[in-house]
Amino acid sequence: MATKNQGVKQGIRNKRKPASAAAAGRKKPARAAKAAAKPTRVSAARTGSEPPLVKTLLAEHRHIASVMQLFSGQLKAIEAGQRVDTHVVYEIMDYMVTWPDRFHHPREDLIYGRVAELDASAGDNVDSLQRDHDHMARSGREVLRNIQQWRDGEVSGKVLVDSGRAYVDHMYEHMNSEEKLVFPQIMDVLAAGDWLELEQDDQLRPVADPVFGAQVQREFRNMARKLRTSVRRGVERGTLLEWLSLEAFMESLEVVSMAYESARSSAGEHARTAWGEGMELFRESAVTAPWRCTANNARLGLRLVQELASISREALDDLSRVNQERKARVRLMDN
């Protein structure tokens, strides 16, 4: 595997760096003629289209991310002292070493190499990414060895958890960097003709994924089954969360509606009381009634404000209870 990666990397470097000055001199007229024949280059970014190879790389990133998520869950269980399926743990890193390190990353390197041929400013970034691919391949093999030694009782779970998490964190960081920085540069530099030539390269031909392809290879069946279970549970959890949220929302609406009805009823009762007592005050004395009505209304208004404040506090308490019950049910579901 390491030999194949080195061969691919060396091929890229040979493409980017002519063997001699004479060779470089011979290439210049050809490039000049090509430039004369094609005076304008329209990149994929300008056309707004996403080349199939980029779509493939992005899809593979999503697959790798799902595997890393599964691996993170297994590492968390190991750290907590819970029982895990050691076959699943081993197959995760065996997959990473067998497929992304052998096919996904070298294919990216070939595309980056073409970018470096056309844009000299991308050379340093390309070299950095290729070195990072080599580093991740070494790290993946190291984590795989740790898993085997952990299964044999030769290393502790902490050693595995630490190395595994470092690998996962670096993988996420690497993919994010590629998608935010590198892929946009690829789209900006490469034109339709470049993509057509790349698609005809034998080393960029589609390779069946042993887990996410049409057929799962036998050596990864445990991991594939665990992935399907995780996806199914994720969908089930999402559905349950929606139902819990909807139920909590409906109950909250009921709380607010009841509070509104109580407030409206209380306000109506106070209005009727104020009207009745005001009429009585006018019958007793029309001269002093305005001032006495004002004082009485202020007293009744203060009482109404107090009652409304009490209704609001009770409604807020009920809303808090509804939310706490929802959170408790979510925790129970997760456990």
Count how many domains the chain has: 2
Same domain? For 269 and 134 the reply is: no
Residue 330: predicted pLDDT: 64
Q: Say how far apart CA 190 and CA 196 lie, in whole Å.
A: 10
225 occurs within a structural domain: no
Tokens encoding 80: 């907590």
Tell me, yes or no, whether 280 and 183 share the same domain. Answer: no
* Residue 330, in any domain of the structure: yes
Query: Mean per-residue pLDDT for 322-327?
Result: 74
Q: What is the pLDDT of residue 227?
A: 86
Domain boundary among 215, 231, 249: 215
Q: Are residues 86 and 198 in the same domain?
A: yes
Mean of pLDDT values over 129-135: 90
Distance between first and last Cα of the chain: 41
On the question of pLDDT at 31 being above 50, the answer is no
- Examine residue 149 and state whether it is found in any structural domain, yes or no: yes
| Cα torsion angle, 297, 303, 308, 309, sign | positive
Segment 144-157 mean pLDDT: 95
- 202 and 277 share one domain: no
Contacts of 277 (CB under 8 A, 6+ apart): 293, 296, 300
Residue at which a domain ends, from 215, 247, 275: 215
Q: Which residues lie across from 43 on neighbouring strands?
A: 191
Q: Distance between CA 20 and CA 76 in Å, rounded?
A: 53
Verify that 97 and 185 share a domain, yes or no.
yes
Residues 312 and 169 in one domain: no
Range of the domain at 284: 239-334
* 110 within 8 A of 203, measured Cβ to Cβ: yes
What pLDDT does 305 receive? 87
Question: For residue 44, what pLDDT is reported?
Answer: 54
Residues 169, 272 within the same domain: no
- Tell whether 206 and 253 lie within a shared domain: no
Determine, yes or no, domain membership for 279: yes
Looking up tokens 């790349």 gives: 198
Does 161 fall in a domain? yes
Whether residue 166 is found in the same domain as residue 302:
no
209 and 125, same domain (yes or no): yes
Model confidence pTM above 0.75 = no
CATH code of the domain covering residue 81: 1.20.120.520
Residue 27 CA, distance from chain mean position: 44
Note whether 198 and 55 are same-domain residues. Answer: yes
Has residue 5 got a pLDDT over 80?
Answer: no
pLDDT in tens, 113-123: 888 888 888 77
My answer on whether 124 and 211 are in the same domain is yes
Among 20-29, 57-66, 257-266, top mean pLDDT goes to 57-66
- Is the residue at 162 inside a domain? yes
The Cα 296–Cα 199 span in angstroms is 88
Half-sphere exposure at residue 46, Cβ-oriented, CA atoms within 13 angstroms: 9
The amino acid at residue 44 is: A
Distance CA 237, CA 243 (A): 10
In tens, the pLDDT along 58-79 reads 999 999 999 999 999 999 999 9
CA diameter of the chain = 119
pLDDT of residue 124: 78
- Mean pLDDT of the residues in the chain: 79
Cα–Cα distance for residue pair 57/54, rounded to 1 Å: 5
Distance CA 146, CA 141 (A): 9
**223 occurs within a structural domain:** no
Amino acid, single-letter form, for residue 76: K
Percent of the chain with pLDDT over 90: 26
Does residue 30 have a pLDDT over 80? no
Residue 26 in domain: no
Lowest pLDDT segment from 176-180, 291-295, 318-322: 318-322
Report how far residue 9's alpha carbon sits from residue 14's, in angstroms, rounded to the nearest whole number: 9
